[in-house]
Structure 1
């Protein structure tokens, strides 16, 4: 992951104060719901596990959208903007940009609607439209219950085994990565080889996207951080795709 998305290797950061409330503003519930509906109506679900009859759902949303796309949009932000904006503000920007890029709305329409909300803050709390297609609601509920599994049959045996020393590759993250940057080049011990193979929603420049083994790796904290930052007798664990690992 790029710098602003994996802070575990950085020093001198201010104390992080977590939000007590899950949703701070009413509109945040809506953007969460929109993202959930987009995942539930994504056009890739006809090949997912479990299989969904997504072509039979009467929705005008015909795009490919997953958690991975949401994260990719956030990783594409300027680091200063990433730290300036709150959590769901990043979601709002990424999803809005996606709808513009996919042609569902124009930038002019988005700007005009944004201006309306800025002039009247109560507009964002207006009741949602009613009378949607029940089949769409059913699909969203089904997706919430059954999800979209990353597990696939294992086609080749894992390259590494329990107890083996391995090294994390140094790779360019490209547009999107699932490898924390501060682990690159570090040595770890395999403490678990997960059963089966795991895929990712779409291919990335650094190698994930096809089914592969995933390992739980144990890192010694002194290999990652300054001694003053380490808790005594601690161990750091991380689950890593096989493509990011090489023999030590």
Structure 2
């Protein structure tokens, strides 16, 4: 997670300004971008983690200048081309688009409510036993990298790498995004809610006694034997 998207805890980006209550979209094409992403997800050509990583893989200059939904469309364009759904020439309007044999799989408007209501549960049985319990002191992996794929997707945020925390609870076992984003299977393993003191994460926290809770997979953690 060393790419430009890993912005948590980064200095110099300015204050976070909350949106006015009720504001969801800022342009008329934003809901269309969301709808298109949901509709094409039903093709079965990629999963949520692959989709997320496609946005992370945008060129750094593009990622920095794109708005939120421009990132979504940029990532989706990558997935459509990589999976042979459309060609670059079709996307650019240089040739007439050809009907895709999987077009009928796209989510239809009358299906949306039911699909969203079902959600996409990521809990799975695993043959990996939990090694931590509530209250255990742990240390997050020192480097926030994907250990399976060089430069690949991971849900370990850079600002928490190497930090000491405490296990709040075990969520059960869940799909490991580090594998799932790269076609390596679901590889489910135990997932924990881990509490970190603000003073452990930030150099100059405004409220040092505040706490941050981060969901972390077992492979992100090791026992804090100095606790």
Fold in common (TM above 0.5): yes
Determine if the alignment matches structure 1 residue 226 to structure 2 residue 203: yes
Report Cα offsets for 1:155-188 as digits up to 9, x if no partner. Answer: 3431111111111113423221111011111111
Q: 1:185 aligns with which of 134, 138, 162?
A: 162
Note the aligned Cα RMSD (angstroms). 2.9
Counterpart secondary structure, 1:26: coil
With the length of structure 1 as denominator, give the TM-score of the two structures.
0.72
Number of aligned positions between the proteins:
207
Corresponding residue for residue 220 of structure 2: 244
Determine if the alignment matches structure 1 residue 12 to structure 2 residue 25: no
User: Contact 1:2–1:75 at 8 Å: present in 2 too?
Assistant: no
Report Cα offsets for 1:110-148 as digits up to 9, x if no partner. Answer: 1127xxxxxxxxxxxxxxxxxx89995565443212122
Unaligned runs of 5+ in 1: 44-62, 114-131
User: Contact 1:163–1:191 at 8 Å: present in 2 too?
Assistant: yes
Corresponding residue for residue 53 of structure 2: 72
How far residue 245 of structure 1 moved from its aligned partner, in angstroms, is 0.7
Unaligned runs of 5+ in 2: 95-103
Q: Aligned pair in 2 of structure 1 residues 232, 139: CA closer, same or farther (>3 Å)?
A: same
> Counterparts of 2:206 and 2:138 in 1: how far apart (Å)?
22
Aligned positions of 1:1-248 closer than 5 A: 1-17=1-17, 20=20, 21-39=23-41, 41-43=42-44, 63-64=45-46, 66-112=47-93, 136=108, 139-171=111-143, 172-173=145-146, 174-194=151-171, 196-200=172-176, 202-203=179-180, 209-227=186-204, 229-248=205-224
The structure where helix makes up a greater share of residues is 1
